[in-house]
Structures are given as C-alpha cells and as structure tokens.
Amino acid sequence: MPRKPKVQFHYRELDELTRQLIFAPSHQRVDFVVRAERLHDLIEVGVDYPLDYVLYQLTRRRPPAHATVNFQAQHLVKDLRTLIDQVSRSAPVEVSAKHPAQTLDELANQLNVSTRTIRRWRDLGLRWRWVSVTTPDGTRTDMGFTPEAVKRFLSTHTDRVTQASQYQRMGKSERDRLIERARKIAQQREVSLHEVAVHLARRTGRALETVRLILTRHDEQHPTNKIFADRSSPLPHEQRRQIATKFSQGASASELARAFGRTRSTIYRAVREQLAAQVKTLAIHYVHSPLFDHPDAAHAILDQSPTPSEERTPRPAPTPTRNATLTSGDLPAPLAKLYDVPTPRPEDEKLLLVQYNFLKYRASRTRDQLNRYEPRAGDLESILCDLRHAAQLRCELVRGNLARVLTTARRHLMGHEDTQVGTVLELVEQGLAVLAQTLEAHDITRPQSFESALSYHMMRRFIAPPTPRSRAQRRLGDEEIATRIDRAISAAQREPACPDSAG
C-alpha cells in the first residue's frame, strides 16, 4: 500500500469523519468513496454548502439540528479530494466494469503527457482514487482516475491539456540555444532568473517551469560558468567601498550591477551603507538653542529670509587717523576689494547664524536616529541636504564679514610703525581664522552681537607677541596677495567633508 502522506483538512468536521470511516467495513468505504466523488463533481465555485447537506450526501445521515456550519466551495472540494484519497488508500477500489478507472501511466499515455504533469493537475481539480489493479505479476495498488473525473477536468482545462499534450522533449541543440539566449539577456540588462524564464517561455512556446529548470540546472552543474551570478552572499567591505567610490564618480547603478554581478537594489544598499558610515564619522558641531526643540522650529526658523546681498550697502572704508601710513587708497586691489562685499545687517546676521546652527542640529539629530543596519536613503539625503545648506550659509557669513576683518586689522595697526602690506595681509589671514572659530563658538542665545564677539576675539589674537622678523620685507605682488586671501577665505568657509548623496 502506498505510504500515507501527512495531510491537513481545512474543515475539522471532515477530518473527524474521515478518521471514523477508515475503520468502517471495506464495502462501506467503497460506497463512501463513490458518494464523495459524486458530491465533489456537484460543488459549484462561489457557493456555500451547509454541514447537514454535505454529511447527508456522504453518509445518508443527517447531523443534529443545532449544527449550522457552512462550507466554502473552494475549501470543500480540496477537503473532499483529500477525504477520497485517505479512505480509498485504506480500501482500494478494484478496477472492474462496475468501477472503471485508468491508472496514472495509462492516463499519461492517453493524453501524451508525463506522469509528473498528471500529479500537478491534481492540485487544479483532477480528482483521483486508489485502485487495485491485477497484473500477471499479481495485484498492486495504484492511483486511478475514473472516466467522469477525466471528462470533467478536460472540459474545464482544455487549453492546458492541449498545450501539455503538444509538448515535445527539448533536444540538446535547442537547450544550448536557450541557455545562450538567457546568457545574452542577463549580460545586457539587470534581470532575475524568473524574468528571463518568463521571457524565453513566451518566445519559445515552452512551459515556464521547463525553462526555469533548464536554467537552474545549468547554473548548478556549471558553477564556474553561471548565467546568473550568486547574489545572495554578502558584499565584502572592499567591494562596498569600490561601489560607493565609483557611484560618487558618476557610474550608474546598472553599470555597477553588471560589473559586480549584483542587483541594483544591492548596489544602492551598498552605497547607502558606505554613505551612512561616512556620515557617522562627521564632526557636526552646533550651538544649541531652546527654540530648536519646538515642534514648529523648522518653519519658524527656515521660512524666514534675510535681506538679499544685492540690497545691502557695502561697508565703507574707515577714515585713516594719525600715524596711519597705509590709507585706503594705498591698499592693494585684492585687499581693497574686501570692502566691496556687502555686510549683513545685525538682524539678518543673527538669523543666518540661527539657521546655520539649526540645520546642523537637525542633521545631527537625524544622524543619531539612523537605522544601524538598514539606513534609509531619505534620512541620508535629509542629513546631506541640511549640511550642504549649512555650508552655504557659512560661506555667506564669511563673505559678509570680510570687510569687518580688514577694518579690525587696519584699526589694530593705527599708531604702529609697521603698516606695510605684508603686515596687514598677515593680520587679515589671522582674522579670517578667528572668524571661522567664532562662527562655530558664538552663542546665539546671548544678547552680544556677532560683530562685537568677532572684534573682541580678533583683537585678543592681534595683541599676541608678533613673530620676530627683519624690517626689510620683499614687495608683495597683487597676484600673490589675491592667492593668499583666497586661500584664507576658503579655509574659513570650509566645513567637514560632506559625502556625496545616495542614489
């Protein structure tokens, strides 16, 4: 007798009934199988059947009046096939004129399909029973299909049966061509094995499962010449670093997916992970304000706009006083141009400082909440956007204070004998360094203005003992002066390295 498989009923009532019937006399079990098959063919999809109707059709007995269970058709037919299988296993029906049936091999030969195909059709509604077949070698138990079961299945699945019966075994040359076509498709675009199998099945008229098995077996039997690379193993750290570098240099995700044998989603995930690791190492310093913790802080702070630089008035050069040998007219052009940059009004400058610190505060908070294992691209992009915006405001603040730095440096030299261009330039370079430090440390919650704080810190720096040097200094050209000023301005505007955004 065939080994009894582990089955599961959807309805407990039918499961219990099956367990009881297995111990009934053999002839009663045969009659029960016939009635169950008849009921199976009567079931209509979308209709609910009450328990008393089902049990009466199976046992010719009615359940207690209080039973009000309804069976759904889609679950009932599956349970009935399982019930027929279990009961007929315990009492195989002998094939005869009274109980005609075809065995599994006979039906497969008649329909010109494989026995595996017949077994798959059972899940689509082809019912079966276990039968006893007499052969010259003795009696054996086999899977049987009654004429009514076959006729009913053929009428509801005509196209499927016709397609399966016209199937021809694939030869070696056709299989090789199929594999080469799959390889070309996989090399030209990012596709999965299933997508390629679906495409080739439509083009060749072969069954999807047939194509999928051919491609799967090829990769299993040829591990060094696979069509589809192994994309399940984790990416090594060095490969993740290379992917992130190439992506930041302009390589597309599709190109990187082909180069590294991965999916685009894996490439994007590697870029995000590397980007998150870089963001974690950034030093984000800010001066906190209680306003930042307000629920509407972003709207209250960022929706305001300072006066455009085009509408600001450039800071006038200070009038030289006694002992000042280097007048405004004597300044080299690169230094004099610092007075041409408009200085922001106090209220605009304070707003820029608040926005500058708030953006870094928000970026830091978002970074602290990043998922350690699966950082979201939206969170990373939000962090980078805030840091880029903060860097723009820092540049604007540095440029808006260039005239103040030059004015403070010249004021420090008033009354000094050493008022040569080189000395002024050195003080301007020192002043820009102080400006960069003051931007990071100025407390925006205190009443002291940024201009006062900057002047105070610059004068403290300027009164430090100067480096000894000879009185004879070489003359500095405008190009050298401009280069040194640009270098000092760039250093003051520079923020910690900001990684490229994730795709």
Cβ density class 154-171: b for 16+ within 10 Å, e for less: eeebeeebeebeeeeeee
Contact (CB, 8 A) for 282 and 496: yes
Contact (CB, 8 A) for 118 and 153: no
Using alpha carbons, select from 273, 175, 278 the residue that is nearest to residue 227.
Answer: 175
pLDDT at position 497: 45
Residue with the two structure tokens 């207690």? 64
Could you give the CA distance from residue 258 to residue 466 in angstroms, rounded to a whole number?
61
- Tokens for 325? 């040998």
Could you give the CA distance from residue 455 to residue 102 in angstroms, rounded to a whole number?
103
Look at the chain and count its residues. Answer: 503
pLDDT at position 472: 53
Could you give the CA distance from residue 18 to residue 39 in angstroms, rounded to a whole number?
15
Residue with the two structure tokens 């056709």? 174
- Tokens for 353? 């400082």
Contact (CB, 8 A) for 85 and 128: yes
DSSP strand pairing (48-50 vs 70-72): antiparallel
- Which residues, listed in sequence order, are joined to residue 143 by a DSSP beta bridge? 130
Q: For the chain, what is the largest distance between any 2 Cα atoms, rounded to a whole number of angstroms?
A: 133
CA angle 128/130/132 to nearest 5° reads 135
Could you give the CA distance from residue 79 to residue 39 in angstroms, rounded to a whole number?
12
Which ranges of 171-207 does DSSP label H, i.e. alpha helix?
A: 172-188, 193-204
pLDDT at position 1: 46
pLDDT at position 227: 84
What is the secondary structure of 35-50 as a DSSP string? HHHHHHHH--TT-EEE
Q: What single letter denotes the amino acid at residue 320?
A: P
Could you give the CA distance from residue 135 to residue 331 in angstroms, rounded to a whole number?
118
Could you give the CA distance from residue 89 to residue 404 in angstroms, rounded to a whole number?
99
What residues of the chain score a pLDDT lower than 70? 1-7, 65-67, 168, 190, 229-233, 309-330, 415-419, 465-474, 495-503
Contact (CB, 8 A) for 170 and 210: yes
Q: What is the pTM of this model?
A: 0.54
Q: Would you list the domain boundaries of the chain?
A: 12-165, 172-221, 237-281, 290-493
Residue 149 exposed, middle or buried by CB count within 10 Å (0-12, 13-18, 19+): buried
pLDDT at position 142: 94
Contacts 24+ apart (CB under 8 A), 102-105: 102/144, 102/145, 102/147, 102/150, 103/131, 103/133, 103/142, 103/143, 103/144, 103/145, 104/142, 104/143, 104/144, 104/145
